[in-house]
Chains A and B, each alone.
Chain A
Amino acid sequence: MRIKCPLCGERDLREFTYRGAALPRPAPDAPDEAWDAYLHLRDNPAGPTRDLWHHRAGCSAWLVVRRDTATHEIFGVELATRSRAVRA
């Protein structure tokens, strides 16, 4: 798998660290159900998904990667700061 960082271009998987599903972060005072869901519960699809990766050995940006968990095909990569997936 190779990931195309919007800042650095296509790079080897080994430059990136995976964080987990890209989910909007609840408000600090949100009820504990919301925090439980954010921290623990996952759709965990066998197919298209969105997850967070850190370009650790590159530009250090956080990325939202759209990819398929069954085929490892990558559909798109965007900066987390620009992504709607992680915005509440």
Chain B
Amino acid sequence: MRYSGFKVLVQGLTGNRGWAPVWRTPDPRPAYDIVIIGGGGHGLSTAFYLAKTHGLRNIAVLEKGYLGGGNIGRNTTIVRADYSLPGNSEFYSHSLKLWEGLERELNFNVMHSQRGVIRLFHSDGQRDHYVFAGNAIANRGDGAELLDQDGLRRLVPYLDYDNARFPILGGLLHRRGGTARHDAVAWGYARGADGLGVDLVQNCEVTGIDIRNGAVTGVQTGRGPIRARKVAIVVAGRSSQVAAMAGLRLPIESHVLQAFVTEGLKPVVNHVISFGMGHFYISQSDKGGLVFGGDLDFYASYAQRGNLARQEQVMEAAMTLMPMIGKARVLRSWGGIMDMTPDGSPIIDKTPVDGLFLNAGWCYGGFKAVPASGEAFAHLIATGRPHPVARRFRLDRFRSGHLIDEEGAGSQHNLH
């Protein structure tokens, strides 16, 4: 069914009785050309572009839980293209262009809102860094404006500008950045892929990867073996476990990242704002909740909940930046498992096993990447060659020294 304003109107007037399920729930078939492990944002977008761009049809996405139950439905939904380093810069720039056409492409409202992302600076050194970063973003054509304190005050008057410890001197405004509805992105890609004949198989955990003579032949699952000529691993926080099924040891350590949401409030925070002292970022959802987050919990963890020490630190950062937030009540907090690489940048590559492909290491920035990651991974799987915007996301770059360390934090998984 194609969605349109007219359909919404007709359905609204007739009791919404005419909506059909958005995708099928097929049982897995014994064999496919391509099996994608993981039904998160990246797995679903990969399936969609394999079918749409490359015309492939005999594809399954195997998801151990339900579609969109992983990080794709747990993130703080920030979408931006404000990276500086070659590798990241062209990739996220391309991804933002795909975002801008995504709702038309999918015929689905993902609530993409280009409300502007503002990164604050608090010292002269940080201002210099943002001049550099802003130039890199502007040179790509993605738009960056340096605001002094007066300019910033006009946009966001409610910050604590004269904080004794962290005075706010200005900010870097990236107008094309913003947010999107995370679940809708998963659902939109799922619906698109299903419509093109991809089998989306839920409650189907992959428990083994079959390899013969150095080439992949299929997977073992909780719902029986499935043969496949190509297998793609796209499981975010679980990348190490699934790759280990093929005898691979990855440059990844899994960490928890928490997020928080307050009760619904009237519109007050109209941008995405990120604090420059310590890691803290905030936006307001369309339901009115203030959505915010901070740093990782910092130690390797698979617990999908966070620790109190980090919660305290995030609340302190919030109060330092905008004291008015103290009146809002926090409704919920949760955590997701991040696949952290030693340089903070992702991997989209072949593996040493023939026919086995890897898409991993999104750290905590993989939501904005969903469209370009799917497109680039589909290109690699279909043609055997890396997509031009993702060719630096190599699995062997750590050994060869071609790191893409955006923050210059050093080769340690939890520092990015």
Contact = CB atoms under 8 A, between A and B. Distances in A.
A7 interface: no
Interface string B242-258: 00100001111110000
Chain A interface: which size bin? 20 to 34
Nearest to A35: B399
B240 interface: yes
Nearest to A41: B249
B302 A42 contact: no
B342 A69 contact: no
B307 A40 contact: no
B248 to A, nearest CB: 9
B74 interface: no
A21 B253 contact: yes
Contacts of B398: 36, 39-40
B132 interface: no
Contact of B303 (A14, A40, A71): A71
B413 A42 contact: yes
Contact of A1 (B307, B342, B399): B307
A13 to B, nearest CB: 5
A8 B241 CA distance: 36
A61 B251 CA distance: 27
A70 B303 contact: yes
A40 B240 CA distance: 13
A20 interface: yes
A18 B398 CA distance: 21
B309 interface: yes
B302 A46 contact: yes
Nearest to B304: A70
Contact of B299 (A44, A51, A71): A51
A49 B303 CA distance: 14
Contacts of B299: 18, 51, 53
A63 to B, nearest CB: 12
Interface string A23-41: 0000000001100110111
B402 to A, nearest CB: 12
B158 interface: no
Query: Is chain A's binding surface mostly helix, strand, loop or mixed?
Result: mixed
Given A18-B414, A39-B398, A69 B300 contact: yes
Contact of A44 (B250, B303, B411, B412): B250
B249 A43 contact: yes
A14 B241 CA distance: 29
A72 interface: yes
A1 to B, nearest CB: 6
A52 B208 CA distance: 31
Nearest to B243: A44
Considering residues B253, B307, B411, B412, which has the most beta carbons from chain A within 10 angstroms of its beta carbon?
B253
Contact of B301 (A39, A42, A72): A72
Contacts of A71: 303
Nearest to A32: B399
B253 A44 contact: yes
A43 B241 CA distance: 8
A70 B414 contact: no
Q: Which 9 A-B pairs have the closest CB atoms?
A: A44-B240, A40-B251, A36-B399, A18-B299, A40-B398, A46-B302, A70-B302, A41-B249, A40-B342
24 contacts: A13-B307, A13-B309, A17-B298, A18-B414, A21-B253, A32-B399, A39-B342, A40-B251, A40-B411, A41-B250, A43-B244, A43-B249, A44-B252, A44-B253, A44-B300, A45-B240, A46-B238, A46-B241, A46-B254, A49-B300, A51-B299, A53-B299, A69-B303, A70-B302
Interface of A: 1, 12-14, 17-21, 32-33, 36-37, 39-46, 49, 51, 53, 69-72
Given A42-B249, A51-B300, 7 more contacts: A20-B414, A21-B253, A40-B399, A42-B250, A44-B241, A49-B300, A72-B303
